[in-house]
Chains A and B, each alone.
Chain A
Amino acid sequence: MIEFQKVTKRYDHDVYALKEVDIKIEKGEFIFLVGPSGSGKSTFLKLIIKEEDPTNGKITINSKELSKLKEKDVPYLRRKIGFVFQDFRLLYDKTVEENIVFALRVIEASEREIRTQVSSALKQVGLEGKEKSYPNQLSGGEQQRVSLARAIATRPPIIIADEPTGNLDNVTAKEIMESLFEINRNGTTVVVVTHDENLIKSSNKRVITLNKGRVASDTGKGGLI
């Protein structure tokens, strides 16, 4: 599903963000990607959505080699990946429902699809009844759920969550993680970038650790550090 083969990303002045990274993530896997600041986690995410290109190596998503992807096809690659941000990135002048409709409009979904997907996504993250609320009227955890609903509404096969619990308390963080596990149980591949050791320890999921641009450890499927 996601494969990095000897991927190197070098910025100006010989600064290496990633160095010969080999990572293979299978369809339906749940992965924690961890590592200190500057370890290359953000670069890894930017490469997956082709916001940046590697200096060397090959990246394959859904059997498609990204270097062969034309610029005009990049949006269609991104439609296969739902993104969840640490700071939610919601539109605060739109209601919960409108935020999700917005995502579906962007991918030019039909009116029927929009109706079905909005209620299904809200149900999946447990936000039924909050359709008409504005993000400011919701708690942090609820806002992150809206962000999750927006990511899954377009039914992408991959979800990438960048520090999804970074701004939340422990209880809420666990709830969000539970939602991500649930999404994964439905067959979606999930990659979670996090600093939170507690979340990782209690989950029994595969953990890939990056350090100084290299894979420092990989527990493999269902592994513990």
Chain B
Amino acid sequence: MGTSTYLFKQGYGNLKKHGSKTFSTMLIICATMIILGIFLIIVINVNHNVKTVTEGQGLQAFISEDHLEQESVQEIARKLKDVDNVKEIIFLNKDDALLDAKETLKEYAYLLEGLEKANPFPASFIVKFENLQGTENVKKAIESIDGIYKVGYNETIMNAVISVADIAKIVFFGIGGVMVIISIFIISNTIKLAVYSNKREIFIMRYIGATNKFIRRPFVVEGTLIGMGAAAISWVIVSLTYIVTYARLPKIGSTLGIFGFVPYSSLWYIILIAFVILGIALGVIGSSISIKKYLKA
């Protein structure tokens, strides 16, 4: 039996020795992970929709009648591309604009018939953003371009989307932070019990010449096993809940027409990785805190 196997056995032995305490700690850590998992799913979904909205949203820069020659349009296009946070631009000439208006009016499109010869619709550029942060600056920069006389921009939707995304992140990090701290406290308390019952062993180890790393490792193994166990249980619960909920979600999405949910297939590994990392981190930090005072040289 090598040193690593020995240390693992020691850690696992501690787990078994305090079975019920270990189990209750695992459940509390599970609760933390499930709550964090739900928030993480909300954040992922909000971000997904922010991205969709970002891709769909943009502003419309209208070109004045005296700048419609090819060189002027090209110059405007070049300047637009130079503006920060501009992802792409699409040129709509006057004919496109008329066609677009007809499509919008649908059965009332006949109202616009005969306008082809004296088309009153202005040519414009549709400008798409990289992200929705700082779109106000993009608007100001475009307004100052020579040949642009007006900028159409739907601030309300964009600001609402940004606010939702920001709130989701704040809630995730705020509540998440508090829950992580509570979990570290709980896990370190459980391991303190193991440390206490192994006090004699630790004392002898120190006299014989054990390094701090050697003394710490079984407890870190114990903490990590608790964290990983909780991660596995939480992942199964969160996954099943999302799969069941997602099966009912498309109906809501299609009714609303705008909100779509991320399918489980592109979500499961993010949740799994997040839980495993969180489980290991909680185990390592929690156990390191509880063993600290016994590691004085």
Contacts and interface: CB of A to CB of B under 8 A. Distances in A.
Interface of A: 49-51, 71-72, 74-80, 83, 89, 91, 102-103, 105-108, 111, 150, 154
19 contacts: A49-B207, A50-B297, A71-B297, A72-B212, A75-B209, A75-B210, A77-B209, A78-B206, A80-B209, A89-B204, A91-B200, A102-B201, A102-B204, A105-B6, A106-B208, A106-B214, A107-B210, A108-B214, A111-B1
A103 B6 CA distance: 13
A198 B214 CA distance: 41
A72 B211 contact: yes
In order of increasing CB-CB distance, the 3 nearest A-B pairs are A79-B209, A78-B209, A106-B210
Contact of B204 (A71, A91, A107): A91
A51 to B, nearest CB: 8
Interface residues of B, number: 18
Given A79-B208, A106-B214, 18 more contacts: A49-B207, A50-B297, A75-B206, A75-B209, A76-B209, A78-B209, A80-B209, A83-B207, A83-B208, A89-B204, A91-B200, A91-B201, A91-B204, A105-B6, A107-B208, A108-B3, A111-B1, A154-B208
A74 B203 contact: no
Interface string B1-23: 11100100000000000000000
For the complex, would chain B's binding face be called helix, strand, loop or mixed by DSSP majority?
A: helix
B193 interface: no
A78 B1 contact: no
Q: Which of A75, A76, A150 has the most CB of B within 10 A?
A: A75
B205 interface: yes
A94 to B, nearest CB: 9
A133 to B, nearest CB: 19
Given A91-B200, A91-B201, A111-B2, A103 B297 contact: no
Q: Which of B1, B3, B204 has the most CB of A within 10 A?
A: B204
Contacts of B211: 72, 75
Contacts of A50: 297
B209 A106 contact: yes
Contacts of B6: 105
Interface string B209-249: 11110100000000000000000000000000000000000
B198 to A, nearest CB: 10
Contacts of A76: 209
A89 B204 CA distance: 7
Contact of A89 (B3, B203, B209): B203
A194 B234 CA distance: 59
Contacts of B200: 89, 91
A108 B217 CA distance: 13
A114 to B, nearest CB: 9
A51 B1 CA distance: 31
Contacts of A51: 297
Interface in B170-204: 200-201, 203-204
Nearest to A104: B208
